[in-house]
Amino acid sequence: MLQLVSGNTQRPAPSLVKLINTVPEAHRLNHPIDALVIIGRQLERIIEEDNLPAAVSMGTLRFSLFRIHQERIARMAKVCQSVRVYGEADIAPPNIPGIEFIALPEGSPLAREWFFSFDSPGFWGALITQLIPNRDQGSVRRYLFEGALSADERIVTRIHLLLSLLAQRPAPHVAERDVFANSVRWARFAFELAAHSEAERLNLMAALGEVPILREVLALYHADEPQQSFERMMPQALHELGRLDVRGAVLYKVTNNTLHPHIWHNTDGQPLPVTPGQGISGQAFQQRTPVLSLLSTDDPEYSLLHEAHSVVAVPILVNDAVWGVLSVGQLERDPYSSPAAAGVISVAALLEQVAAATPTPSNWMLPETASPPASFGTSRLVDPTPPPPPVMPKAASPAPPVPTPAVPPQPSTSSASAFGLPAWMQGATAAPPPPPAAPVVQPAEPVAEDIDWDEAQRRLAGALVAFDRRMAEYIWQEMIAKYTSEEVCTKLLMPVQVAVGEGWHRGEVSVAAEHFTSRFTESKMIQMLHAIPDKPGAPTAVIGCVQGEMHELGAMMLGLFLAWEGFRVIYLGQNVPNTTLAETIRQLRPQVIGLSATTVESAHNLTEAGQIITRIEPPRPQFIFGGSAFYERPDLKARIHGQFLEGDVRLIARDLAAKHLKV
């Protein structure tokens, strides 16, 4: 049940930014909202996919801005212990099960902070930022957010304590923490940021300032060169482990069921090959799980890592096969008490994910060159209970059987760059979501099934403004398989495009999110247009954007509806040069030619286009034009030799069909 709680008027709303004052300047963020949405989405995805009973607190400045996250947070809330949203109550918040809204006093410091804090036994952290005007000669050009992303348990605990006092609710309590599981999930998060399509443009790697080892290793990762990246990252990973004061490190690779030393750092001589069950590294290989153990004189690692008293050995599993083992010496006699152990496991988890994204032959021998992968891995669902800590066996045991994948009822919400936990931390695995498919050929009649189109619009809009193309693709395929293309276009795609555009005008949606949505919409329209077969004897319509015009949604939409009305549509796209019009018309002899203009500059080119078409020998096509430029300069319409059309594109297409189609 929805609970709307006003902050305690006797206690001012706190500022969370003060909790990260000790974070060095070099580790701080200074990013636009686009980056924060992507960072937050990766954290949300891990919580949701791994079914973590997390206590989540998030601040969205005001409740109206929560709408762009509503669909994602509602899904995540189903697995969370609690979800509380803080912001100014500029609108009535939605009633969503499991989500509590906390109204902040207008103008309070917390109402200017964008934050996402989460706490669970196996994953915790906090993204804390505050709104900073970016001024240029005294005027605000845009808003940036300054802050930090932290994995510090103490900061997370203090955040939830302060916010619980404000909401007058008990603070969440985590009795036991699994530092190894937390380290693995942070490695997974770090890789997802590095592999994100917006990583370079938005400088997403700056968010990893508080996990410098992962950041430095991932600095060598390039998604378009996975093989070369992996080769560069392996020695860098062993070098970065030196920050943890380890006593030597060896990265083994499996060849012919034997661990062969691939890279080593700060060891006494060259390591020798290791067979399954031999020493601590061999046990990790054989048992497919991390082994943390006190060194004995019988272990082959004893003479190799002479300054070490214990060893942590972590298998790297890719596609349910052991790729290799990372073995690192530790000074502490109790391997679990070493502060380096979690860092070693984190680095091994990172290498595992990079290896999974690197195309290799079945025998795991790394070739000199390789093509980029079709995708960056698959998601795995895990048991909701926290996994136990790695065991410390000395005796070998047979490898556990590989579990049979179970197909979930619907795909995960992960992106193509999302990975699950390492195999040694997994429960039952699940098959990955199907990849985006080609356009489905529509049935002649829609399936008789009721649907809440408003809900479908919210789902698709939420996925697009979060740059979650895979979820958007899933929603699209779900709808296009049940309904006609025209229904899905008019009742889903077009309303979402309009809603996101309006959100951008209100400042609630970023420019990048609006562009991302437009590219998605355009790609679907092109798919639908190409899927419509030409009808014999159908009239031809040539549609495109006038010379100098780059915005093509309107033209594309007209072309699509003309095709549905029975026209053979030749779509020319952006920036159609006037010099090509006469030749194109003479070659195709269309009945209709339509050009759009959204800017006044491009609209001026329609005057010349109309003159060119008028000079063509009969039969000349009907020349139609339109676009938003004429709302700004309606006087331009009179200068163009053609017919100006505006209004519902469906009605325009029907009127043209009634005129040109043979009965």
Residue 416 shares a structural domain with residue 451: no
- pLDDT greater than 50 at residue 384: no
Residue 459 shares a structural domain with residue 449: yes
* DSSP for 308-368, written as a single string: -SEEEEEEEEETTEEEEEEEEEES-SSGGG-THHHHHHHHHHHHHHHHHTS---TT-PPPS
Tokens 């997403």, residue?
A: 204
Query: What CATH number is given to the structural domain containing 138?
Result: 3.30.870
Whether 206 is in a domain gets the answer no
Whether 517 is in a domain gets the answer no
Residue 292 shares a structural domain with residue 363: yes
Q: What pLDDT was estimated at residue 68?
A: 76
Whether 193 is in a domain gets the answer no
Structurally, the chain folds into a number of domains equal to 4
Whether 514 is in a domain gets the answer no
**pLDDT tens-digit map of 498-534:** 888 878 777 777 888 888 898 899 888 888 888 888 7
**pLDDT tens-digit map of 69-128:** 888 899 999 999 999 999 999 999 989 999 999 999 888 889 999 999 999 999 999 999
Residue 474 shares a structural domain with residue 563: no
Strands 258-265, 139-150: pairing kind: unpaired
At 633, the pLDDT band (50, 70, 90 cuts) reads confident
Lowest mean per-residue pLDDT among 323-327, 428-432, 435-439: 428-432
Rg for the chain, CA atoms, rounded: 29
- pLDDT greater than 80 at residue 60: yes
Q: What pLDDT was estimated at residue 499?
A: 86
Residues in a beta bridge with 316: 324
Count Cβ atoms below 10 Å from residue 24 Cβ, excluding itself.
Answer: 9
Residue 272 shares a structural domain with residue 332: yes
Q: What pLDDT was estimated at residue 504?
A: 78
Backbone dihedral angles phi then psi of residue 139, each to the nearest 5 degrees: -105, 150
Residue 153 shares a structural domain with residue 59: yes
Q: What pLDDT was estimated at residue 421?
A: 46
> pTM for the full model?
0.59
Residue 428 shares a structural domain with residue 445: no
Q: What pLDDT was estimated at residue 9?
A: 43
3-state SS record for 32-45: CHHHHHHHHHHHHH
Residue 412 shares a structural domain with residue 290: yes
- The whole-number average pLDDT for the span 188-209 is 91
Q: What pLDDT was estimated at residue 322?
A: 93
Q: What angle, rounded to 10 degrees, do the helices at 553-564 and 649-660 form?
A: 50
**pLDDT tens-digit map of 458-495:** 889 888 888 888 888 888 888 888 888 888 888 899 89
Q: What pLDDT was estimated at residue 12?
A: 60
**pLDDT tens-digit map of 554-568:** 899 899 999 998 899
- pLDDT greater than 70 at residue 29: yes
Residue 609 shares a structural domain with residue 544: yes
- pLDDT greater than 80 at residue 389: no
Residue 424 shares a structural domain with residue 462: no
Stronger pLDDT, 381 or 466, i.e. the higher one: 466
Stronger pLDDT, 99 or 432, i.e. the higher one: 99
Q: What pLDDT was estimated at residue 348?
A: 95
Percent of the chain with pLDDT strictly greater than 70: 82
β-sheet with 291-294: strand ranges across: 258-265, 249-255, 321-330, 310-318, 291-294
Residue 541 shares a structural domain with residue 631: yes
Q: What pLDDT was estimated at residue 342?
A: 93
Q: What pLDDT was estimated at residue 343?
A: 94
Q: Measured between alpha carbons, how far is residue 508 from residues 104, 505, 545 in Å? A: 19, 8, 29
Q: What pLDDT was estimated at residue 234?
A: 93
Domain boundary among 135, 154, 177: 177
Q: Which domain holds residue 476?
A: 436-507
Tell me what the pLDDT averaged over the chain comes to: 80
- pLDDT greater than 90 at residue 409: no
Domain boundary among 177, 201, 219: 177
Strands 258-265, 249-255: pairing kind: antiparallel
**pLDDT tens-digit map of 216-226:** 999 999 888 88
Query: What CATH number is given to the structural domain containing 331?
Result: 3.30.450.40
Residue 252 shares a structural domain with residue 262: yes
Stronger pLDDT, 639 or 422, i.e. the higher one: 639
Stronger pLDDT, 137 or 308, i.e. the higher one: 308
Q: What angle do CA 417, 225, 439 make, to 5 degrees?
A: 50
3-state SS record for 295-320: CCCCCCHHHHCCCCCEEEEEEEEECC
